[in-house]
Amino acid sequence: MNTPVTARTAITGVGWAVAGPDFDPATALAGRGMRHKDRSSRFAVRVAERALDDAGLLGAPELDGAAVVVSSNFASLQTVCDCVTAIAAGGSTDISPMRVPQLSSAFAAAWVALDHGMRGPNLTLCDGASGGLDAVASARDLVLAGRATVALVIGVEPDAPSVARLHGESGGTRWIDGAVGLVVEPVRRAESRSARIRAEIAGYGRARDERSAVRAADATAVRRRLGDEVTARFGRCSGALGVVQCALAVEHMDDEAVLAVAGAGTGEGDGTSVSALVLTPPRRRDT
């Protein structure tokens, strides 16, 4: 009864908007067009430009039918808290009208779509620590189901007082403040537009524990597993975790498959579920 999916999907672009030598949030998140956006939306629009540029898709006609898939757990939290503080101090009339749209977790994805005319599905996932890998898998399914030409996946978590308090109360000491993006598209499309295929998405699985998730992703034979380097480098990545893992895996891809696991073994799981995803090196083109 099942019709197994045989079409292949590739990652053709990677972008980073995390504080570092080539990204200074103080300047990159300011300026034209940023005023009415919350911090997560600012990170998201910046990383979208970089990932689409990396994939050679900035301004491309494919974007009209493209999907945006955002994973974030804390995108709207600070706006919610600020509004509650304003109401407690006075009343609803003390809320800035510009903050109202930012109460929606979907705001960042909508801005990215608007910036690049991406009229396909506009999806935001808030799945806890496994959300980033779930977003990559959802992006894969959107293109396989014929709903999108390409899909831009963004993992974003903004730092804010409420985020710091929540991490602090749950034993966290460091956490990411930024966004990471990936471009997902069918291998066939990537080849036809002569895009550089950075990796292929091989398997994905979600389960109640790590071993079952790895089995569900058909990855028991994959030897190279991304360890704790992501959390060691950035601190807790929350909804961005899986996207950061994939971005690092793509950038360090050699001739071996890589397994990313989110929700276990990274100090970030909440014990509810684990996702696993396998990326494989690009295959040599048939000649």
Partner 1 sequence: MSWEIIGMSAVCALGDTVAGIHGALCSGRSGLAPLSAFDTSRYRAEAAYEVPDRARPDVEEPLRATRWLVRVVREALADAGLPEPDPGLPVLVGTTHREMRTAELWWRHEGSLSPADLHFTSALRSAFGLYDVRTVASACAASLYGLGMATDLIALGRADTVVVAGTDSITESSFGGFDRIQFPPPGGIRAFDRSRHGMIMGEGAVAVVVRRAGTRPGRTHGRVRGVSMNCDAAHPTAPDSAGIVRAIQEAHERAAVVPEDIDLVIAHGSGTAQSDLAEAVALGEVFKTVEPGPLVTAIKGGTGHISGGAGLLNLVVALEAIRSRTLPAVGGLTDPIEQAAEVRIVTGRPATGAFATAQVHAVGMGGINAVAIVEGSTP
* Residue selected from 149, 231, 238, 280 as contacting partner 1 according to rule CB under 8 A: 238
Which amino acid is residue 121, in one-letter code? P
Stretch that binds partner 1, among 43-51, 182-190, 219-227, 270-278 (CB under 8 A): 270-278
Residue 99 interacting with partner 1 (CB under 8 A): yes
Q: For partner 1, what does the binding mask look like between residues 110 and 149, x meaning CB under 8 A?
A: xx-xx-xxxxxxxxxxxxx--x--x---x--xx-xx-x--
* Residue selected from 9, 40, 76, 245 as contacting partner 1 according to rule CB under 8 A: 76
Dihedral (Cα; 232, 236, 239, 240), 10-degree rounding: -40
User: Residue 49 or 141: which CB sits closer to partner 1?
Assistant: 141
Touching partner 1, residues 12-41 (CB under 8 A): 36
CA 37/CA 87 separation, integer angstroms: 21
For the CB of residue 188, give the shortest distance to partner 1 in the complex, in Å.
17
For the CB of residue 81, give the shortest distance to partner 1 in the complex, in Å.
4
DSSP of 188-244 = HHHHHTTPPP-EEEEEEEEESSHHHHHHHTT-TT--EE--THHHHHHSB-GGGHHHH
* Residue selected from 34, 49, 53, 101 as contacting partner 1 according to rule CB under 8 A: 101
Stretch that binds partner 1, among 77-85, 182-190, 195-203, 217-225 (CB under 8 A): 77-85
CA 97/CA 19 separation, integer angstroms: 29
Dihedral (Cα; 224, 230, 236, 237), 10-degree rounding: -90
User: Residue 12 or 124: which CB sits closer to partner 1?
Assistant: 124
User: Residue 14 or 76: which CB sits closer to partner 1?
Assistant: 76
User: Residue 4 or 21: which CB sits closer to partner 1?
Assistant: 4
DSSP of 164-188 = HHHHHHTT---B--EEEEEEEEEHH
CB 177 within 8 A of CB 202: no
**Residues in binding contact with partner 1, number by CB under 8 A:** 72
3-state secondary structure 76-118: CHHHHHHHHHHHHHCCHHHCCHHHHHHHCCCHHHHHHHHHHCC
For the CB of residue 116, give the shortest distance to partner 1 in the complex, in Å.
8
Touching partner 1, residues 143-182 (CB under 8 A): 144-145, 147, 162, 166, 169-170
